């Protein structure tokens, strides 16, 4: 397991920092669909994702959640980082999207690292940048795309994040993520099938034009 951490991060962090991360943190394996952090939780560690993916959602007053962005391999959570520094509570909810392996870093260490390691500073900034980008994209879709386009984009993105063209998901879960109703999704799904963009089975959607990440 340590090997995995080294593999994934040895080119991102200075060696001394990698050593320190290994010394201070610990591994944790989490199953699919587990809520790791909820709104209002106090944050005690920062996750580095080694395997799998985590989705970050917010919730409106009626308890409907909607998707903000995904954390993928090599990512960490920008929200968590700021929360940590201020000792604040989480503003969002994090749910595992697949079986996930993370490395938990106690937040007390992070502040020192900010001073001690250039690579850590870079990592934090870059993390912010990519989260920012991803959020801008979601805002963009919300504002300018119709439901069908949003759905297709959602499916493709999800396939990319999970590194597989076939997704195990139900129409109603999709509806949840996109904050719409199941019926609407079912109908749009049918359109996408007619357009040869996807195929489906019960609990299962396959994106036809799937390009794995570089």
Partner DNA sequence: ACATTAAGTGATT
Partner DNA sequence: AATCACTTAATGT
List contacts with DNA (CB under 7 A): 146-148, 170-172, 179-184, 186-190, 200-204
CB atoms within 10 A of CB 188: 22
CA distance 193 to 182: 16
Q: Is 197 exposed, middle or buried (0-12, 13-18, 19+ CB in 10 A)?
A: middle
115 vs 69, 109, 112, 194, CA distance in Å? 28, 11, 5, 56
Nearer to DNA, 55 or 150 (CB): 150
**Least Å from the CB of residue 203 to DNA:** 5
**Least Å from the CB of residue 167 to DNA:** 10
The alpha helices in 104-146, defined as continuous H runs, are: 108-116, 118-144
CA 91 to chain centre: 15
**Least Å from the CB of residue 34 to DNA:** 17
Nearer to DNA, 164 or 186 (CB): 186
Nearer to DNA, 22 or 184 (CB): 184
Nearer to DNA, 32 or 42 (CB): 32
**Least Å from the CB of residue 97 to DNA:** 17
């Amino acid at each position: 397991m340590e090997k995995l951490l080294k593999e994934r991060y040895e080119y991102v962090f200075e060696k001394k920092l990698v050593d320190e991360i290994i010394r201070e943190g610990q591994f944790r394996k989490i199953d699919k669909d587990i809520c790791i952090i909820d709104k209002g939780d106090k944050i005690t560690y920062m996750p580095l994702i080694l395997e799998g993916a985590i989705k970050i959602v917010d919730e409106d007053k009626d308890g409907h959640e909607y998707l903000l962005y995904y954390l993928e391999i090599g990512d960490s959570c920008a929200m968590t980082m700021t929360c940590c520094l201020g000792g604040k509570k989480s503003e969002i909810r994090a749910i595992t999207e697949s079986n996930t392996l993370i490395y938990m870093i106690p937040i007390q260490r992070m502040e020192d690292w900010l001073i001690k390691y250039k690579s850590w500073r870079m990592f934090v900034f870059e993390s912010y940048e990519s989260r920012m980008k991803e959020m801008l994209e979601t805002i963009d879709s919300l504002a300018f795309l119709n439901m069908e386009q949003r759905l297709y984009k959602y499916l493709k993105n999800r396939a990319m994040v999970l590194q597989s063209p076939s997704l195990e998901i139900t129409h109603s879960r999709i509806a949840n993520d996109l904050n719409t109703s199941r019926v609407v999704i079912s109908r749009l799904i049918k359109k996408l099938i007619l357009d040869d963009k996807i195929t489906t089975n019960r609990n299962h959607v396959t994106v036809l034009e799937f390009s794995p990440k570089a």
